[in-house]
Chain A
Amino acid sequence: MNFIKFGEKYFDEVEISTYRKREIRAEIELNQISMSSISRKTKTVIRGISDKRLGIYVVDGDGEEKIKDGIEKAYKMAKMNRRDERWVSLPQKQSYGKRTEINEDLKEREPEFFVNILLDSAKRILREDANAVVAGGESGSEWVESMVMNSHAVEVSQENVAAYFYLYVVGRKGNQVTPGIFDMDVRRDANLDTDYIVSSLLSKLKKAYNVVPSKDGESTVILEPFALSELIEYTLLPSLKGDRKVKGTSYLQDKLGERVLNESINLLDDPWHPLGVERIIADDEGVASRRTEIFRKGKLEGFLWDNYWGGIEGVGSTGNGYRNLKTGGINIAPHNLVLEPGNQKVEDIISGIKEGYLVSLLQGAHSSNPDTGDFSVVANPAFKIENGEIVGSTVFMLSGNIMSLLNHVEELSSEQRKVYALGRGIFPYVKFYDVKIASVSK
């Protein structure tokens, strides 16, 4: 059945998107496999506009009856909505890049494969450290097929598959519990780097048993990729979204073309970066994907836009429309935020620090203020550096404003890590100077 034609009986413009997802997952808890699961989900989202009134319907499934019923229900919603005088239109017909082939071998992997990844990794950790507990972790694969079509001849389907693996490890000696140490890998094939993850966890755990105090004041701090990504997600990224620029709630709204960050900061959204996991050709509105420069040498080069806000501003979409599958609404989000690397290896950066801290993860980045960029977070796990060596773990509060912090960059590492939780993208380790800290570990 031609659903678009059916939808056009009701709407001036209509969009139908279907998402089919299959997830295989193994979970580990307290050193043992706790659950294996398979999940199949299908969702259809109908978005229609009638007389500049928006109506959306979201339903589990993609059967003909459900979609037809959904179109009628979306129309009922539209009739009750206010006219939106600023509405321009749904995206027009697009030219897309070539779809990247998915790894068929990964798509067919059985759950046993992921169970073994977890078990082998846990065994190696427990063999090396008798006090370690694999508190949690998962490994699995996620296959997603999506299709977007609208009444302006947009019709695009794409398929993606990725494997992931993460562990969360603590060390217990008597009543003392180390902070949780986390690391992960995500790939477009099944070659998950378990060796790197296991050795990274063990090396951090070894240093975490020795809890040392931190000092109030201003200090040199290295943020690891996960910590940096999470902080950027909640403090900088909101101000780069076009909707906030239009509404006047972005603190960067009048800074286009100005150098506002340290010259070493080059930030872009790159869906096709070699380390990227989802190499998409279109966003959730069917707009063709592209590389978008955000900061070049600290200068603000551009904002991220979806179809609606890009239409209002007259700049068009940058292909950054992301659908909330619960509400069917579109939000602006990057696909793969890339902070370009520097020249020095992270071990060389650490060895050059007389006194400072290395921060693996942050607590409370989500409680930052996206409208000002102010943050006040807890560094945990964090490690104290003395004379170029890590001497133990510590906990402290780190406060400031993201614009100020990104002007206090001293060094970016040559290594980059993929981040696929706590933000999404590819980030190096970054050394900052004069960061305000307050000790929690006394």
Chain B
Amino acid sequence: MLVSPKELRRREKVVKLSERKIRWIVRLYRDVSTKEAKKYSYSTQSSRNRKTQILSLDTFLVIFVGDLSSIIKWAESTLDAEYVEIRFEDIERFHTRLRDRTFHTFTSSHSHGYGIRVLAQGAWGFSTTTKDREVKDAILDAYKMAKVSSNSREEKIQLAEIDAIEDEVNSKMQIKPGEISVEDKIERMKNLEKLLKEDKNVVSSDIRYEDATGTKILVTSEGTEIRWDVNYIWQYVWLTGKNERGRAAVRDEIGSVDKGWEIFQEESEEIVAERAHKKLHSQLMGVYPKRGEYPIVAAPIIVGIIAHEALGHLAEADLTINSPFHALIGKQIAPEYVSMSDRIVEGGFGNDIYDDEGSKVRDVHIIEKGILKDIMLNREYAFKYCRKPNGHARAENYSVPPIIRMRNTVFERGDHSFEELLEGIKFGYYLVDFRGGQAELNSSFQVGVQEGYVIRNGEIAESIKDTSISGIAIEALKKISAVGKDFGLEMGRCGKGQTAYVSSGGPHLRFDCGIVVGGQR
């Protein structure tokens, strides 16, 4: 049982559903006929009065998880497999896209399905299905796939041990997106659009909003049974502007898994619009930078993307193994005042308690006082590296297997003020915000810059436009000359075949060299 009977009774008082509603839920979840569903709803009802059926969704899900556990038991007794895992997902999403006063996307969506992973004879097999009645067939498919893989493997895959967990992960949101009416959601977007368009230079605005509410369940043959109450909010703004000097475009992104609708108190329409206008003006008024290697002061958002692209990807164990980081674990790779982690951060878009393999999420201190200490792992790579899994196996949804991903990647604070970081720079660049980035296994990284300024004689001067920075991460790290005492965080998405919600950040950093600015001059 995932929830105590007492807790269930308490919830049943809160969530009362009619007999018709019960049948609807049962049909939805079990894809059975109405007649069967009716029987099922009677057999699970907990009310004394048969005419007023009472069943909480939680009760239903407990029964449902019970079913998945029995399917896992069936798989264990039927297959010659080391490990079987079922990931179930039932999520309702709301997507809108408001482009210049028209909602071009106005969508409600429902995703419902199962991702099955089987480890048999030292190899993985994976399958998916959207049909409740085909879960056993999907397990057999995944088993068959594992056997196909295993025939060719010389080194058998083994998983690092973890404790079997029975838990329920509840949302920390005060106001979940499902509790806000669609009317209120679109009203907020319309307000934001109005504010964005108040700037005379704005030619076009494009606001995307998405939220989700639902349930994710992981059941494994090792006894893990975790149920997540899944909720998130995401907003993306693309603003195009034009003036006598030319065109410019900027993005702004916010997202949250821990804060619900309350996030829009701190990220109000006014704040988002003001931030987007500032970035747009810096582009519109900007000059093309000089290309070459210059001193750089990077603001927290740029520092975050350097942490993510330049270093974070190399510290994902499946990439570490083929990168220069592999040979550098335990070695000094940066000055001793530099520390960097992938960890739980307040408001972090990658926060969670368990990963999609059921491992507990732990802080990973990747660089500690300049020494490369730890990397992000799933169970397979934790075994290879003889380390404990640290909760970084994440799957975008049920239809793909979990892979190693970052969560919240940050440089840790130092002790310099912003003014100290600028001191003594005759000519350099102050880089504030980014538009995309990418890493390569040879530790080459690229970050597109959408807000930046020239530093001249220790002062912030004119803005720059449409540029990017690059470097070889293991070289650039050594060139960090000072670490700020402030801290900032940016929410975003990372693409590594699958999309993951992540955040990244840190304090201001100064690089005396090691970063190349790409420019049209």
Chain A CB within 8 A of B49 CB: no
Shortest Cβ distance from B310 into chain A, in angstroms?
11
CB within 8 Å of B: which of A365-422?
366-372, 374-378, 380, 395, 397-401
B203→A249 contact, CB < 8 A: yes
A194 at the interface (CB under 8 A from B): no
Determine if B107 and A56 form an interchain contact, defined as CB atoms under 8 angstroms apart.
Answer: yes
Residue of A nearest to B124 (CB): A35
Q: Tell me if B46 is interfacial: C-beta within 8 Å of chain A.
A: no
- CA A112 – CA B149 in complex, angstroms? 8
CA distance A41 to B130 in the complex (A): 7
Alpha-carbon distance A441/B472, docked complex (angstroms) = 8
Considering residues A58, A326, A328, A371, which has the most beta carbons from chain B within 10 angstroms of its beta carbon? A371
Q: Which residue of chain A is the closest to B181 with respect to CB atoms?
A: A80
Distance of A210 Cα from B174 Cα, bound (Å) = 57
Interface size on B, as a range, is: 35 or more
The verdict on A129 contacting chain B, using a C-beta distance below 8 Å, is no
In the complex, A45→B11 CA distance in Å?
35
Interface pair B148/A364, CB less than 8 Å apart: no
Q: Does A439 contact B (CB under 8 A)?
A: yes
Q: Does A438 contact B (CB under 8 A)?
A: yes
Q: Which of B357-365, B410-418, B511-519 contacts A (4 or more CB under 8 A)?
A: B511-519
Check A367 against B442 for contact (C-beta < 8 Å).
Answer: no
Q: At the interface, yes or no: B170 with Cβ under 8 Å from chain A?
A: no
* Cα A189 to Cα B444 with chains together (Å): 37
The CA of A37 and the CA of B248, in the complex, are separated in Å by 44
Of A40, A84, A180, A436, which is within 8 A of B129 by CB? A40
Q: Are B444 and A395 in contact (CB under 8 A)?
A: yes
Q: How large is the interface on A (under 10, 10 to 19, 20 to 34, 35 or more residues)?
A: 35 or more
B118-147 interface code vs A (CB 8 A; 1 in, 0 out): 000001111111110000000001100110
Which of chain A's residues have a CB closer than 8 A to the CB of B439? 363
Residue of A nearest to B183 (CB): A80
Is A247 a contact partner of B204 (Cβ separation < 8 A)? yes
Instruction: Pick from A84, A380, A399, A436: contact of B444, CB below 8 A.
Output: A380
A353, CB-defined interface residue at 8 Å:
no
Instruction: State whether B518 touches A81 (Cβ < 8 A).
Output: no
In chain A between 144 and 196, which residues have their CB closer than 8 angstroms to a CB of chain B?
170, 172, 174-175, 177-180
Identify B437's interface contact among A26, A59, A367, CB under 8 A: A367
Which B residues are in CB contact (< 8 Å) with A364? 436-438, 446-448, 468, 470
Stretch from B50-58, B255-263, B265-273, B315-323 at the A interface: B315-323
Binary contact track A28-60/B, C-beta < 8 Å → 1, others 0: 011011111111111000000000001111111
B95 at the interface (CB under 8 A from A): yes
Determine the chain B residues whose CB is within 8 A of the CB of A369 once the complex forms: 248-249, 435, 466
Would you call B109 an interface residue if the criterion is a C-beta within 8 Å of the partner chain's C-beta atoms? Answer: yes
State which of B103, B107, B129, B441 has its C-beta within 8 Å of the C-beta of A135.
B441
Q: Confirm or deny: A313 has a beta carbon within 8 angstroms of a beta carbon on chain B.
A: no
Q: How far is the CA of A380 from the CA of B103 in the complex (A)?
A: 40
Q: Is B153 an interface residue (CB 8 A)?
A: yes
Q: Is A39 a contact partner of B444 (Cβ separation < 8 A)? A: no
Distance from A190 Cβ to chain B, minimum over Cβ atoms (Å): 17
B contact face: mostly helix, strand, loop, or mixed:
strand
Residues of B within 8 A of A249 (CB): 203-204, 240, 247, 249
* Docked-complex contact A370 and B109, CB < 8 angstroms: no
Given contacts A59-B110, A376-B467, contact A33 B444 (CB under 8 A): no
In the complex, A33→B121 CA distance in Å? 13
A81 contacts across to B, CB distance below 8 A: 103, 106, 186
**Residues from chain A with Cβ under 8 Å of B199 in the complex:** none
Q: Which one of A179, A327, A375, A436 contacts B95 once the chains associate, using CB atoms below 8 Å?
A: A327
Interface set, chain B 228-265, CB cutoff 8 A to A: 240, 246-249
B3 at the A interface (CB under 8 A): no
Report which of B108, B146, B246, B434 forms a contact with A77, defined as CB distance below 8 A: B108
Q: Indicate whether A170 sits within 8 Å of B130 (C-beta atoms), given known contacts A81-B103, A115-B148, A377-B468.
A: no
Asked whether A73 lies within 8 Å of B108 as measured between CB atoms, the reply is yes
Question: Which residues of A have CB within 8 Å of B324?
Answer: 175, 177
Check if B130 sits within 8 Å of A61, measured CB to CB. Answer: yes
Contacting B at CB under 8 A, from A81-123, are 81-82, 84, 86, 110-112, 115, 119
Do residues B109 and A438 form an inter-chain contact, with CB atoms below 8 A? Answer: no
Is there an interface contact between A35 and B446, defined as CB atoms closer than 8 Å?
Answer: no
Contacts of A77 in B (CB 8 A): 106-108, 182
Chain A hits for B203, CB < 8 A:
247-249
Q: Quick check: is A4 within 8 A (CB to CB) of the other chain? A: no
CB distance from A227 to the nearest CB of B (A): 13
Residues of B within 8 A of A439 (CB): 516
Is B445 among interface residues, defined by CB-CB distance under 8 A?
A: yes
Q: Is B77 an interface residue (CB 8 A)?
A: no
Chain B residue numbers with a CB within 8 Å of A39 are 126-128, 399
Q: Which residues of B contact A352 (CB under 8 A)?
A: none
Contact B434 A367 (CB under 8 A): yes
Determine if A329 is an interface residue (Cβ-Cβ < 8 Å).
yes
Residues of A within 8 A of B141 (CB): 38
Q: Which residues of A contact B227 (CB under 8 A)?
A: none
User: B327 contacts the other chain (Cβ, under 8 Å)?
Assistant: yes
Given A249-B204, A249-B240, answer yes or no on A57-B107 (Cβ-Cβ < 8 Å). yes
Docked CA distance A324–B448 (Å): 26
Find out whether the CB atom of A41 lies under 8 angstroms from the CB atom of B442: no
A433 close to chain B: CB less than 8 A? no
Could you tell me if B470 and A56 are in contact, using CB atoms closer than 8 angstroms? no
Q: Is B486 among interface residues, defined by CB-CB distance under 8 A? A: no
In the complex, the answer to whether B204 meets A41 with C-beta atoms within 8 Å is no
B291 at the interface (CB under 8 A from A): yes
B145 touches A371 (CB 8 A): no
Chain A residues closer than 8 Å to B446, beta-carbon distance:
363-364, 367, 377-378, 397
In whole angstroms, what is the CA distance A205 to B466 when docked?
33
A78 at the interface (CB under 8 A from B): yes
**CA of A33 to CA of B12, assembled, Å:** 49
Note all chain B residues with C-beta closer than 8 A to A366. 436, 438, 448
Question: Which one of B148, B153, B183, B210 contacts A32 once the chains associate, using CB atoms below 8 Å?
Answer: B153
Q: Is the CB of A36 within 8 A of B518?
A: no
Provided the pairs A175-B324, A438-B516 are in contact, do residues A376 and B438 lie with their beta carbons within 8 angstroms?
no
Residues B153 and A65 in contact, CB atoms below 8 Å apart: no
Q: Which of B351-370 contact A (CB under 8 A)?
A: none
Nearest-CB distance from A85 to chain B (Å)?
A: 9
Separation of A400 and B467 alpha carbons in the complex (Å): 9
Complex contacts, B148 vs chain A, CB 8 Å: 26, 36, 110-112, 115
B104 beta carbon closer than 8 Å to chain A: yes
In the complex, the answer to whether A82 meets B130 with C-beta atoms within 8 Å is: no
Select B441's contact among A86, A177, A216, A247, beta carbons within 8 Å.
Answer: A177
Closest to B436 in A: A367
Asked if A133 is at the interface of the complex by the 8 Å CB criterion, the answer is yes
CB of A248 within 8 A of CB of B204, answer yes
User: Is residue B277 contacting chain A, with contact meaning CB distance below 8 A?
Assistant: no
Q: Mark B497-521, 1 if CB is under 8 A from A, else 0.
A: 0000000000000000000111110
| Nearest A residue (CB) for B107 | A56
Q: Which B residues lie at the A interface, using CB under 8 A? A: 27, 31, 95, 97, 99-113, 123-131, 141-142, 145-146, 148-149, 151-155, 157, 182-183, 186, 203-204, 210, 240, 246-249, 291-292, 318, 321-324, 327-328, 399, 401, 434-448, 465-468, 470-472, 516-520
Q: A32-B155, A39-B399, A326-B95 are in contact. List 16 more A-B contacts (CB 8 A).
A: A33-B152, A36-B146, A36-B149, A56-B106, A73-B108, A81-B186, A133-B322, A175-B324, A177-B323, A178-B442, A179-B444, A216-B292, A327-B105, A364-B470, A372-B466, A397-B470
The 10 sampled A-B contact pairs (Cβ below 8 Å) are A26-B149, A33-B149, A38-B128, A366-B438, A372-B248, A377-B468, A378-B440, A380-B442, A439-B516, A441-B472
Query: Shortest 3 CB-CB distances between A and B: which pairs?
Result: A367-B448, A367-B436, A364-B446
Q: Footprint of B on A, CB under 8 Å?
A: 26, 29-30, 32-42, 54-61, 63, 65, 73-74, 76-78, 80-82, 84, 86, 110-112, 115, 119, 133, 135, 170, 172, 174-175, 177-180, 216, 243, 247-249, 251, 308, 324, 326-329, 363-364, 366-372, 374-378, 380, 395, 397-401, 436-441
